Amino acid sequence: MQVRRTRGWLAALAVFAVVIAVVVAYAVQSASRALHVEPAPAVAAAADPLRPAGAAAGPDAEGAAGYAGRVRRVMDALVASRAMGDTHGIVADAATGRVLWSSGAADRVTPASTMKILTAAAALLELGPEARVTTRVHAGAEPGRVVLVGGGDPTLSAAGEGFYPGAASMAELARRVRAAAGEVDAVVVDQSGNVDAFHPDWDAAGIAEGYIAPVETVEVDAGRGGPEDVTARSATPALYAGRLLAEGLGAGAVRAAAVDPGDLGEVLGEVESAPLAVRLRQMMQHSDNVLAESIAREVARARGERPTFAGSTAAVAAVLAEHGLLDPAELAAEDCSGLSEGNRLAPEAINRVLLAAAGDPGAVDPAAGADPAGIAARLSPLVDALPVAAVSGTLADRYGGAGGAGWVRAKTGTLSRTSALAGVAPAAGGRLLAFTLISNGVEVTAARAAADAGVTRLLEVE
């Protein structure tokens, strides 16, 4: 896909810079490595873009070629490292869209969880940041029976103190149902939407290990047994949610069944999820596979696709293609979380989304008839959602003591032989760089360390 380059980005960089500074200040003050990090407050304006101390105010045209050459030397040395295995990647200037370095960036490789960047972008473009998911309880066909009908929200808590801050709770849903229905004898959990819940590429051991659960229409803490991140998940999360509802209602019987819509009575109670922007941030911070797949199914439903793996991957790809951010030839997707090792994605597609989210209109293919400025505005929550090096999410334990700490914002990706890192960071000369590095066939720990060191050196290039 040909990408045009345009300018006019510095105002957006200024806002992003101050947001980064606020996040770093908070981290220093709290010295916390908790994954739940409060969103930085919105900043209306800033006088100057962020730049490292002592750096010049901005790159001049004459020095741009020399700067690109120095970037290439740093990145070529990085990918030549034995630790980086088979690395494909790209680095671009976010203000101009100019590619500073590229190595095999058009090749489709295994992206791991950097796939979530595409999922987040498609959701923001199709649904908008305020989109919510509703969980309902209907009167059943028989007196004293109610039906729990999920809308695809895995973030529900048991009683308001769950894994996802701001989520609705089963306790509140039960309270509303009791107020409307009085005594309830039995709960039926509607299973009609729970199809294609566990991808054949996924390892079922991941349920016990705590990084995945079946993707069902209603879940509590994404199938976790409590608010801790790494804990065994339920193999039947919708039924588990139904049991919690039954406990809250004092009902003695719970069963799962596909319920015909014609057998659903009036709505006795409902609760809504947090806005999409909040859930996307949680997804990115924790690299949450269940949440990613659930959000992708929201996109599928919005586009009239079936909420399955095939439907959600097709919907995500279609949304990005329609907005000029993806050439369909760049992606062959099995899922939308990146958990499948069968996924194939070109690094330049990830970087194009990052450039657009960072405010570069030139990242959008004008041939697609898209509105570049509008796309940038709609994608802006994606940048804020990325973990911050040595501060939050999956980067909380990385970059400790390194120059990139507090500056790099990036999505990590990890599979058994894949390590990936894709994000944005301010560099010398007032630049903001967007980068994507995907290493296949590696020892993950060594590749992570090498990538972190390489990105830190990249940001020091003047």
> How big, in percent rounded to 5, are the helix, strand and coil portions of the chain?
40, 20, 40
Whether 38 shows a pLDDT value over 50: the answer reads: no
Confidence of residue 18 (pLDDT cuts 50, 70, 90): very low
Whether 35 shows a pLDDT value over 80: the answer reads: no
Pairing of strands 153-156, 344-345: unpaired
Residues acting as catalytic residues: 113, 116, 287
Give the pLDDT mean for 348-364.
89
Q: What is the pLDDT of residue 230?
A: 75
Distance, in Å, from the CA atom of 363 to the CA atom of 365, rounded to the nearest integer, reads 7
Give the pLDDT mean for 143-161.
96
> Tokens 């001049």 appear where?
60
> Which is more confidently placed, 149 or 48?
149
Cβ count near 427 (within 10 Å): 28
The least confident of 12-26, 285-299, 376-390 is: 12-26
In 3-state terms, what secondary structure has residue 243? helix
Q: What is the pLDDT of residues 372-388, one digit of tens each?
A: 788 989 999 999 999 99
Distances in whole angstroms, Cα of residue 100 to Cα of each of 71, 108, 195: 7, 20, 45
Cβ burial of 46 (10 Å; 0-12, 13-18, 19+) is middle
Give the pLDDT mean for 437-444.
97
Q: What is the DSSP string of 408-422?
A: -EEEEEEETTEEEEE
Distance, in Å, from the CA atom of 364 to the CA atom of 299, rounded to the nearest integer, reads 21
> Which is more confidently placed, 102 or 12?
102
Show the domains of the chain with their CATH numbers. Answer: 10-129+324-460 (3.40.710.10), 134-274 (3.50.80.20)
